[in-house]
């Protein structure tokens, strides 16, 4: 059945959870409003004081913000920009461009320092994404970054997330705190946090976007919002589809977003409802020779056990989410009380197995902020709980019996996460601020196999607790410059998916990454894993000159114990284990911007983002080797010229120098540079027509690899382990605001 037919056949399955979510939204909205009305009563007596509070300049590069509004859970684009740019560490605030495509994460995040985005499946919205090497090999079962939507986690309680459930076109502002600079209680990974602030009736009144391009790519979105004295609403629906530039890489993604905000004197309450349904075919890896060949780069391998045209690997993910947040303002104090429920139904069919997970998650969050003249204080509590079913069995389309006859196992799975944190900032001398944060975490994982009689560990219940401190020093010599240094610790526990692993096809022994035999093949088993431990050091700064040039640089060094490392020995299976030795992640995150007013001749805008990734095994079996998976040097740059209502620009992105494709460092991936260009015309305010071209020269290059523990030295050019980058694409579109 083709993708379009699949979407039609699933319409009944779509309506049922969506209707449940709508009824739940009405219920949760009523509860939230009742809570807001009750909790806001103590603030009425201070209404006059709160109303009299004037915007003041906080240490944040001169941006103004209302000091009565807390910074941990910013509710407006201006507050988010203020909050993230005031961070004493690697952070950035991104306002999505309105003059071109915003359909993919590359469109909105591809020109940011510290973020590495690589093409994965060859489609339009599934890139490999990594910050500081966190979760390098977790694709497409992602971990290593905490995703927030409107200040509440999108991750499940075990830390896992589905990148395709994000809708970048519905974001008014995006905030990124890299590493341990993350402030949300749930953000515990090396990669930090990303917060996608949704459009509301106050930020987007009406919008229509249409886009068509190469490979029959079609994207559309319509949104309507209105803002009144005491309430606002916003509703948006989107659709994306493409045939993909490679064989067997069709995709379809449908999304719906709605939110309702109600506010009064000293309080506000907002409810969000979201639904996403996506499915895509997986072309899989191919050999180096095929990926770099003009006639074969778009094809799939004919080798088993992969052979996608026969094994039909694909993935379908359906998710809905309901969230509510009440925010109370009382003088210098801000209280944010949030709750969310979500369901994710994920069916992932690889060439060898089918992984079928249905997971429900409940989350609660309370955050308090207080801002005084020379001191600010904050704290938070969060709780999340996930439970569901996880079934694993052999792929029925796999022609090799040892894979197809793998034993079936169904796991009852649970995860919980409890976090308490406290933080503060003290301006102990003019322009000098000392920041501190202390976080307590307790997290658990429970997996129970329902079928008995299988070899290997089939059930496991484990939990861990730890304390993570952070201390930072910031100096602001003027209102345009901040310099900072910090030291922090963090830990990241394995996901439920990490812990369920496949022991290989029936009938032959299999060796693990350390060369020791694993359990009998032909079954899944539960692997005992531990949280990885991170100790990070960071220095850097950000600022601007003459309102014309901007700079942002961070240097970090992270020593890691028991890093969760992934590898794929055959392209059909991915294994995760705690590396027995220590590892080290070091890097540089550099961003430069410039703008030149040419008077009547127009204006020029330039941007450069450079990320240096130096990840190494310090000891153990790969001692001294590079950890594979990401390019050592990654750069993106753009130059735009604006004249009247016209914008024309060029851009380049790519990897400088070679990087290793396997942990044993036997194969390398070469450097590449991909050129692009774009043109837009604003026919009314914030409405435009555009054309953009990516990979103008139609260059062949290796974007990513499956990172085996050791690649084949005898047949290096024919091993199926590489994903080619997208070929030339041309896209034209319309953005209309009303």
In tens, the pLDDT along 185-228 reads 999 889 999 999 999 999 999 999 999 999 999 999 999 999 99
Phi, psi of 297 (to 5 degrees): -65, -25
Question: Do 554 and 589 meet the contact criterion of CB atoms below 8 Å apart?
Answer: yes
Does 335 map to a domain? Answer: yes
State the Cα–Cα distance between residues 730 and 213, nearest whole angstrom. 5
Of the pLDDT bands very low, low, confident and very high (cuts 50, 70, 90), residue 709 is: low
Cβ(614)–Cβ(630) below 8 Å: no
Count how many residues are written for the chain.
Answer: 738
Taking the C-alpha atoms of residue 561 and residue 442, their distance in angstroms, rounded to an integer, is: 19
Q: Higher pLDDT residue, 536 or 81?
A: 536
Residue 19 has pLDDT above 80, yes or no: no
pLDDT higher than threshold 90 for residue 633: yes
> How confident is the model at residue 197, as a pLDDT?
95
CA distance 393 to 389: 13
Q: State the average pLDDT over residues 4-19.
A: 42
The whole-model pTM stands at 0.87
Closest CA to 712 of 139, 282, 303: 303
Q: In angstroms, rounded to a whole number, what is the distance separating the alpha carbons of residues 388 and 87?
A: 37
Q: How far apart are CA 505 and CA 523, in angstroms?
A: 8
At residue 203, the pLDDT reads: 94
Confidence of residue 25 (pLDDT cuts 50, 70, 90): very low
DSSP character string of 132-178: TTTTTT-TTSB-SSEEEETTEE-S-TTS-B-GGG--GGGEEEEEEE-
What does R_g of the chain's alpha carbons equal in angstroms?
A: 25
DSSP strand pairing (146-149 vs 193-198) = parallel
pLDDT value at 38 more than 50? no
Residue 575 resides in a domain: yes
Range of the domain at 707: 203-737
Percent of the chain at pLDDT exceeding 70:
84
How would you label 544-567 residue by residue, b for 16+ Cβ within 10 Å and e otherwise?
A: beeeeebbbbbbbebebbbbbbbb
Average pLDDT in the 295-311 region? 89
Beta-bridge mates of residue 373: none
Question: What value does the mean pLDDT take over residues 304-328?
Answer: 93
Band the pLDDT of 603: cuts 50, 70, 90. Answer: very high
Residue 138 lies in a domain: no
**What is the spatial distance between Cα 147 and Cα 144, in angstroms, rounded to a whole number?**
10
Strand partners, 608: 592, 637
Question: Is residue 406 one of the residues assigned to a domain?
Answer: yes
pLDDT band of residue 713 (cuts 50, 70, 90) is low
Strands (E), 352-497: 353-371, 375-394, 409-429, 432-449, 459-478, 481-492
Q: Please give the tally of structural domains in the chain.
A: 1
Q: Tell me, what CATH number does 515's domain have?
A: 2.40.170.20
Query: What is the helix, strand, coil percentage profile of the chain, to 5?
Result: 10, 50, 35
Instruction: Kindly state whether residue 565 falls inside one of the protein's structural domains.
Output: yes
The CA-atom distances, in angstroms, between 363 and each of 321, 344, 658 are 11, 14, 43
Instruction: Say if 210 falls within a structural domain.
Output: yes
User: What is the distance between the alpha carbons of residues 132 and 135, in angstroms, rounded to a whole number?
Assistant: 9
Mean pLDDT rounded to a whole number for the chain: 85
φ/ψ of residue 259, rounded to 5? -150, 150
- The verdict on residue 350 lying in a domain is yes
pLDDT of residue 706: 80
Q: How confident is the model at residue 714 (pLDDT cuts 50, 70, 90)?
A: low
Mean pLDDT of 444-470: 90
pLDDT digits (tens, 9 = 90+) for 121-154: 655 556 788 899 988 766 665 788 999 999 999 9
């Amino acid at each position: 059945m083709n993708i379009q037919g699949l979407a039609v056949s699933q319409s009944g399955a779509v309506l049922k959870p969506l209707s449940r979510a709508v009824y739940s939204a009405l219920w949760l909205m009523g509860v939230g409003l009742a809570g807001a009305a009750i909790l806001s009563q103590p603030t009425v007596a201070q209404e006059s004081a709160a109303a009299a509070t004037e915007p003041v300049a906080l240490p944040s590069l001169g941006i103004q913000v209302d000091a009565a509004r807390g910074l941990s859970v910013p509710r407006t684009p201006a507050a988010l920009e203020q909050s993230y740019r005031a961070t004493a560490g690697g952070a950035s605030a991104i306002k999505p461009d309105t003059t071109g495509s915003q359909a993919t994460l590359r469109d909105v995040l591809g020109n940011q320092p510290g973020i590495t985005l690589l093409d994965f499946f060859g489609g339009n919205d599934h890139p490999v994404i990594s910050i500081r090497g966190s979760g390098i090999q977790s694709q497409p079962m992602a971990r290593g970054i905490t995703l927030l939507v409107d200040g509440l986690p999108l991750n499940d309680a075990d830390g896992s997330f589905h990148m395709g459930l994000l809708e970048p076109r519905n974001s008014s502002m995006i905030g990124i705190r890299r590493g341990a600079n993350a402030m949300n209680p749930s953000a515990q990974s090396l990669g930090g946090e990303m917060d996608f602030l949704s459009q509301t009736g106050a930020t987007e009144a009406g919008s229509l976007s249409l886009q068509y391009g190469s490979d029959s790519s079609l994207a559309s979105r319509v949104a309507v919002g209105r803002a009144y004295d005491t309430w606002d609403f916003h509703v948006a629906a989107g659709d994306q589809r493409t045939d993909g530039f490679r064989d067997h890489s069709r995709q379809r993604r449908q999304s719906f977003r709605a939110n309702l905000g109600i506010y009064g004197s000293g309080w506000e309450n907002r409810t969000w409802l979201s639904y996403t349904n996506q499915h895509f075919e997986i072309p899989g890896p191919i050999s180096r020779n095929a990926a770099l060949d003009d006639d074969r780069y778009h094809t799939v391998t004919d080798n088993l056990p992969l052979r996608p045209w026969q094994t039909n690997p694909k993935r379908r993910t359906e998710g809905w989410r309901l969230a509510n947040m009440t925010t109370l303002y009382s003088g210098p104090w801000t209280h944010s009380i949030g709750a969310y429920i979500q369901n994710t139904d994920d069916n992932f069919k690889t060439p060898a197995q089918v992984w079928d997970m249905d997971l429900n998650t409940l989350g609660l969050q309370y955050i308090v902020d207080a801002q005084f003249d020379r001191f600010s204080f904050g704290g938070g509590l969060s709780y999340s709980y996930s439970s569901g079913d996880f079934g694993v069995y052999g792929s029925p389309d796999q022609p090799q019996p040892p894979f197809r006859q793998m034993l079936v196992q169904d796991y009852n799975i649970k995860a919980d996460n409890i976090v308490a944190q406290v933080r503060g900032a003290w301006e102990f001398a003019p322009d000098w601020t000392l920041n501190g944060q202390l976080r307590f975490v307790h997290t658990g994982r429970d997996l129970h196999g329902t079928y008995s009689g299988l070899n290997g560990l089939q059930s496991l219940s484990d939990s861990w607790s730890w304390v993570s401190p952070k201390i930072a020093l910031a100096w602001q010599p003027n209102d345009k410059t901040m310099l900072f240094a910090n030291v922090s610790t963090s830990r990241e526990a394995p996901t439920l998916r990490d812990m369920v692993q496949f022991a290989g096809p029936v009938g032959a022994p299999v060796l693990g990454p350390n060369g020791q035999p694993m359990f009998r093949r032909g079954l899944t088993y539960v692997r005992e894993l531990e949280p990885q431990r991170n100790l990070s050091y960071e220095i850097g700064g950000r600022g601007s000159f003459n309102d014309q040039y901007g700079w942002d640089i961070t240097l970090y060094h992270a020593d890691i114990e028991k890093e969760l490392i992934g590898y794929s020995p055959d392209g059909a299976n991915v294994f995760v284990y705690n590396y027995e030795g220590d590892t080290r992640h070091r890097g540089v995150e550099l961003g430069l911007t410039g703008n030149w007013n040419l008077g009547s001749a127009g204006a020029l805008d330039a941007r450069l983002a450079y990320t240096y990734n130096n990840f190494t095994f310090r000891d153990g079996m790969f001692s001294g080797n590079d950890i594979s998976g990401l390019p050592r040097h990654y750069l993106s740059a753009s130059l735009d010229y604006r004249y009247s209502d016209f914008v024309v620009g060029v851009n380049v992105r790519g990897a400088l120098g070679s990087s290793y494709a396997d942990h044993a460092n036997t194969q390398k991936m070469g450097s590449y540079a991909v050129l692009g260009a774009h043109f837009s015309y604003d026919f009314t305010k914030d409405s435009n027509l555009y054309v953009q071209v990516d990979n103008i020269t139609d260059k062949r290059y290796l974007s990513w690899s499956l990172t085996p523990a050791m690649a084949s030295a005898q047949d290096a050019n024919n091993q199926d382990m590489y994903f080619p980058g997208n070929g030339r694409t041309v896209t034209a579109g319309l953005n209309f605001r009303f």
